[in-house]
Structure 1
Amino acid sequence: MPLLTIYRLLTIGLTPFAGGALAWRARQGKEDPVRLKERVGVASAERPEGRLVWLHGASIGESLALLPLIDRFIQRGVEVLVTTGTVASAKVVKARLPAGATHQYVPLDAPRFVERFLCHWRPDIVLFAESELWPNMIRAVHARRMPLILVNATISRRSAERWRRLPGGPGRLLGKIDLCLAQNAESAARYLGLGAPRVRVCGNLKFDVPPPPAGPTRLAAFTGAIGARAVWAAVSTHEGEEKIAIEAHLALERDIPGLLTIIAPRRPERGGEIAALARAAGLLATQRTLDGEPQRRTQIYVADTVGELGLLLRTAGVVFMGKSLTAAGGHSPIEPAKLGCAVLHGPHVENFADIYAELATARAAARVIDAETLARALQYLLADPSRMRKMGRAGADVVARLGGASQSIMAAIEPYLAQSALEQR
């Protein structure tokens, strides 16, 4: 029996248990208890009149990358539905959506829920971000003859190899995608090799996304609390990297009195664990969720909130990007580079290798391998703010030069927009 058929039968069989599973996840803080019905395809908003484009991004990064396209659709008078899959992404994206865009949680990938969702929203065009390949959703969209476009598409070599090993291969699924608009030539070649029929390189949408915002009142309070102290930030950290950041702080504080280290973990719920780790090292640690602004004597400040990255990046001139020392893949350095931060990272940045290579060529990013080299790089930059600012400006120039993907993507999907306009007459 084909794997996709097995998957479909399995999701149908598990459908009666979805309500209980969602309720359990809500108790764990992994679902929004007020909006659980959206996860089974029940809309909490009316469908707007006229043409509607549905854009989906699973998590924070993928969904924020869609903002430039959302703006362009709205400017053209097209209604926009945006779906995300996590509580954190919903909070961040809703705060940044322009007027005229509607947010919903994406339904679970079960045929009944997907059909319910599509019957209500009836999108004219469907855009999925990066590597969102949900079989039942793709099948249902294709059956309704809705154009399905994968935008900002990316796939790593490892993921492509896993897909290729699946029984029957991924060709039956990817063949239902009308157009695949890849970030780079490597991802384009992998999608073609997996069976996507039409692939084009359009660049990375994340270069076109405005930097994360920070309200002026909140920013003034935050910078006022820090004062003239030297400060750096380790952001989107994963387990093990916080210990390295703390060790780097210990090595630096002898030479940089009053140093403030900000740690913003990828999973904010780990805030208490990280603060305890710092206290065990003999440091005064405070958490944003419990203690508010940094205190005068705070040494390790755990930024365990969602949606405040713009605040942190406007405060720290040098940033270490997580998931690059103790975990593989890395996180995108585009946001700190946009705000003029010097970027440090570990060796494991294969998911964003091309971006880090561009930054390294421009001397806007530097690689570290452990607490000792991290401390050494921080010492080099914090001791000379002009050097740090020069490195930050070089990064801002790089990301500005690499923009333009949103314009290329809109040009690529223009025939689908034109066809939907004709069908509305």
Structure 2
Amino acid sequence: MSKPRSLSLAAYRVLSWGVPNAAGQPEHPRPEGELIWVHVNAQDRLRTVLDLCRRLQQTRPNLSILLTAPPEADLSRWDQSEYPLLALPPDQTGAARVFLDHWRPDIGLWVGGGLMPNVITRADERGIPLILIEAQIDIQVTRGAKWLPDIARYTLDCFGSILSTSTDTARAIRRMGIASGKVKEAPPLHVSPNPRPWPEDELIETNHALAGRPVWLAACVRDTEFISILSAHRQATRILPRLALVLQVADMTEAAPLHRRLESMDLRCTNWDGEGHIEDTTQVILSAAPEDLGLWHRVSPVTFMGSSLERGAGGHDPLIATALGSAIIHGPFVQRHQQIYDQLDAAGAARMVRTATELGDAVVDLLAPDRAADMALAGWEIVSEGAPQADQLIDMVQDCLDHRGTDNART
């Protein structure tokens, strides 16, 4: 049964009619099959949403994903996404209709506040199931329409499920007249990486070749960091003479010249992407293929996340390394993933260094078995805490899509 039309909503649509201009026309074709539309209201939540989308596609491989951001978002500053990421058109009646006509989402997931009445209410009228997570009472109405009553209540009531991270927010939403059964408290989503498995025979063979030697990994290293990494390794070998370094370069074209450079420095080096043979005397294992990081994170109890000692690159995502049980060391320049590094640092799962000397000291310190194990446990608690919430949300999306598919089949 459809909801009775709100007079405030009717007035709002007139006030916000607008005509979408050419810039608001969809540029991307709609993919075939099921499509979930996920709106991310805040830039710092994109990383978490991307992780959820990947997990969702593992469960439902044929599901296509569309991501949207607020109309005013500068997407050049947002993280790169493997899914289409568009700014929603302004909250005008005509623009909302054009957006929904083109994309025809099978379900909508809204993350955070910035609720836009036109696109949300029109999606609801089309029978598109809507879920609101990390809910906020934050309605973005067109200028001149703020005086209209009931817009917030009517917009929130379009969601079939509302998950709030705050008891006060959940209570306030219920007091607006939203059915209590719709509103639940739930923690915010966290990134919960799901690393790909690695062939057991290759892992056993590599560990056997290393013969119990202490190992550390420097991952995603830029050329400007090579000297610092090698200096730190030389320093650490004074305490741990059999220490092996796995040096994984961020730019694959740097691998060959770096190999020659290492040989000229009298460092016994093996090129994993070439012969890949580890001797008992091997000091540096040079690797370039990013897909091999899954092996090295499993082999190395300590990982230095490169592209972070010098300004410019902004660091790399540390969560796969954390999920695979590696203690994390990083430089100060990790602004691309600042939030997760701050969280790991605060939990004792990661350590920041600023110089080659600090890096060498940290490698020696963290390779003590109890230190690495404590950090790995702290990291595991962070990467696993979001799994139940993500699984619950994925089940909700699956149920909505399954019921929608059944209803469509009946009609």
Report TM bin, short chain: 0.5 to 0.7
Task: Give 1:368's aligned residue.
Answer: 353
Identify which of 119, 130, 133 aligns with 2:85: 133
Matched, 1:377 2:336: no
Matching residue's letter, 2:284 = I
- For the 8 Å contact 1:66–1:205, the answer to whether it is kept is no
Identify which of 127, 139, 146 aligns with 2:105: 146
- Closer, same or farther: CA 311–203 of 1 in aligned 2, 3 Å: farther
> How far apart are the structure 2 equivalents of 1:375 and 1:190?
49
> How far apart are the structure 2 equivalents of 1:52 and 1:271?
42
Q: Structure 1: give runs of 5+ residues left out of the alignment.
A: 12-39, 74-78, 84-127, 155-171
Matched, 1:270 2:257: no
Matching residue's letter, 2:343 = E
> What displacement does 1:225 show?
1.4
> How far apart are the structure 2 equivalents of 1:190 and 1:285?
58
SS at 1:286 equivalent: strand
Task: Give 1:342's aligned residue.
Answer: 327
Matched, 1:291 2:300: no
- For the 8 Å contact 2:232–2:359, the answer to whether it is kept is yes
> How far apart are the structure 2 equivalents of 1:293 and 1:408?
45
Matched, 1:353 2:348: no
Matched, 1:301 2:270: no
Identify which of 215, 221, 235 aligns with 2:199: 215
Identify which of 363, 382, 385 aligns with 1:401: 385
- For the 8 Å contact 2:190–2:386, the answer to whether it is kept is no
Task: Give 1:386's aligned residue.
Answer: 370
Task: Give 2:241's aligned residue.
Answer: 257
- For the 8 Å contact 1:332–1:352, the answer to whether it is kept is yes
> How far apart are the structure 1 equivalents of 2:20 and 2:254?
37
> What displacement does 1:349 show?
2.4
> What displacement does 1:368 show?
0.7
Task: Give 1:314's aligned residue.
Answer: 298
Task: Give 1:80's aligned residue.
Answer: 62
**Counterparts in 2 of 1:138-217, with a 5 A limit?**
143-147=102-106, 203-204=188-189, 206-207=191-192, 209-217=193-201
- For the 8 Å contact 1:181–1:409, the answer to whether it is kept is no
In the superposition, the TM-score normalised over structure 1's length comes to 0.58
> What displacement does 1:318 show?
0.6
Matching residue's letter, 2:245 = T
SS at 2:85 equivalent: coil
- Closer, same or farther: CA 411–130 of 1 in aligned 2, 3 Å: farther
Matching residue's letter, 2:319 = I
Matching residue's letter, 2:325 = G
**Counterparts in 2 of 1:36-55, with a 5 A limit?**
52-53=34-35
Task: Give 1:158's aligned residue.
Answer: none
Q: Structure 2: give runs of 5+ residues left out of the alignment.
A: 1-18, 39-46, 66-79, 89-95, 113-117, 142-154, 157-161, 166-186
> How far apart are the structure 1 equivalents of 2:313 and 2:404?
42
> What displacement does 1:287 show?
1.8
- Closer, same or farther: CA 419–262 of 1 in aligned 2, 3 Å: same
More helix by share: 1
- Closer, same or farther: CA 174–55 of 1 in aligned 2, 3 Å: closer
Matching residue's letter, 1:341 = S
- For the 8 Å contact 1:320–1:343, the answer to whether it is kept is yes
- For the 8 Å contact 2:237–2:243, the answer to whether it is kept is yes
- Closer, same or farther: CA 387–135 of 1 in aligned 2, 3 Å: closer
- For the 8 Å contact 1:275–1:300, the answer to whether it is kept is no
CA RMSD of aligned residues (A): 4.9
- Closer, same or farther: CA 53–259 of 1 in aligned 2, 3 Å: same
- Closer, same or farther: CA 176–343 of 1 in aligned 2, 3 Å: farther
> How far apart are the structure 2 equivalents of 1:215 and 1:357?
33
- Closer, same or farther: CA 54–338 of 1 in aligned 2, 3 Å: same
- Closer, same or farther: CA 131–190 of 1 in aligned 2, 3 Å: farther
> How far apart are the structure 2 equivalents of 1:248 and 1:181?
48
SS at 2:220 equivalent: strand
Matched, 1:68 2:27: no
Q: Please, which moves more after superposition, 285-294 or 360-369?
A: 285-294
Aligned pairs, how many? 317
Matching residue's letter, 1:365 = A
